[in-house]
């Protein structure tokens, strides 16, 4: 049963901004199942509203996704804690802020407070590897050691390509530097000419929930680095300790 559920849900990975639909044939090939089974999985997801049939027999995202997104906007504790704090901070400093969460090995943007449209086009729902960019690394650095070791064993080549360690020891030391500083910094790793400065957000005294990150044009980031770092660390701590507002 669990294996069937995993296969059905993995179909959602076949749909993206670059490839908005998938076919039963693709599902059968990727999942390694028969055409009959692929249609069965597609029917389950379609009945749940997660997928919807398109002209020509393709399948794209269904309307239930919109309902789930609305529910998240109204109830997500991370978003509810952060929206007022990040809005006020972004307006006061005059730079863009991003609020980020994660799942698996992926960071995803939860919200943005935008005052400079030229800095980056990153927006809610966009995802990024946890090995790229300050916002991702500010989360990654606070994973438990056993999880980081498992990630390194699985993703050593990607981690090396990202420039954060060609050995487990280098990877571990790189992340320790982020923890010691309480923040992460990157330049042009996500968008050319954009510097990221990020701090982790925690569930009170519990595990890391996400990160708060500046997205600043590199041309003025260095001169403001110390102030922006202090501000984002303070704001992330305030979000971590904030009460969740009642929707």
Tell me: the pLDDT tens digits for 129-181?
999 999 999 999 999 999 999 999 999 999 999 999 999 999 999 999 999 99
Section 14-39 average pLDDT? 93
CATH code, 76-241: 3.30.450.40
Question: What does the pLDDT read at residue 118?
Answer: 64
pLDDT surpasses 90 at 3: no
In angstroms, the CA 74 to CA 77 distance is: 9
Mean pLDDT of 8-19: 92
Give the domain 2-65 fold: Arc Repressor Mutant, subunit A (1.10.10)
| 174-190 pLDDT, tens digit each | 999 999 999 999 999 98
Average pLDDT over residues 59-66: 96
Between helix 2-10 and helix 24-31 the angle, nearest 10°, is 130
* Residue 110 to residues 22, 74, 124, 148, 239, Cα–Cα distance (Å): 26, 12, 5, 23, 14
> For the chain, what is the mean pLDDT?
93
Each domain of the chain, given as residue ranges in start order, spans 2-65, 76-241
Beta carbons of 128 and 191 less than 8 angstroms apart? no
- List the structure tokens of 101: 């969460």
Instruction: State how far the alpha carbon of 172 is from the alpha carbons of 53, 131, 163, in Å.
Output: 46, 13, 13
Contact, 233 vs 214, CB < 8 A?
no
pLDDT of residue 115: 79
Q: How far apart are CA 80 and CA 244, in angstroms?
A: 6
């Amino acid at each position: 049963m669990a294996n069937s559920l995993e296969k059905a849900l993995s179909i959602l990975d076949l749909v993206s901004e670059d490839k908005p639909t998938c076919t039963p044939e693709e599902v059968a090939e990727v999942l390694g199942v028969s055409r009959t089974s692929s249609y069965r999985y597609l029917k389950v997801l379609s009945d749940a509203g997660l997928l919807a049939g398109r002209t020509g027999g393709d399948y794209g995202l269904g309307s239930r996704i919109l309902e789930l997104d609305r529910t998240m906007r109204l109830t997500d504790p991370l978003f509810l804690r952060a929206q007022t704090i990040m809005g006020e901070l972004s307006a006061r400093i005059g730079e863009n802020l991003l609020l980020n969460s994660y799942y698996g090995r992926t960071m995803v943007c939860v919200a943005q407070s935008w005052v400079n449209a030229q800095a980056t086009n990153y927006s809610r729902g966009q995802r990024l590897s946890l090995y790229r960019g300050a916002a991702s690394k500010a989360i990654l650095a606070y994973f438990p050691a056993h999880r980081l070791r498992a990630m390194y064993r699985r993703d050593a080549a990607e981690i090396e390509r990202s420039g954060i360690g060609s050995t487990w020891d280098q990877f571990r030391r790189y992340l320790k530097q982020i923890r010691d500083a309480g923040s992460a910094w990157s330049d042009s790793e996500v968008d050319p000419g954009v510097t990221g400065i990020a701090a982790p957000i925690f569930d009170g005294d519990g595990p890391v929930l996400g990160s708060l990150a500046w997205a600043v044009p590199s041309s003025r980031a260095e001169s403001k680095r110390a102030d922006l770092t202090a501000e984002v660390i303070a704001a992330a701590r305030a979000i971590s300790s904030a009460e969740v507002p009642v929707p």
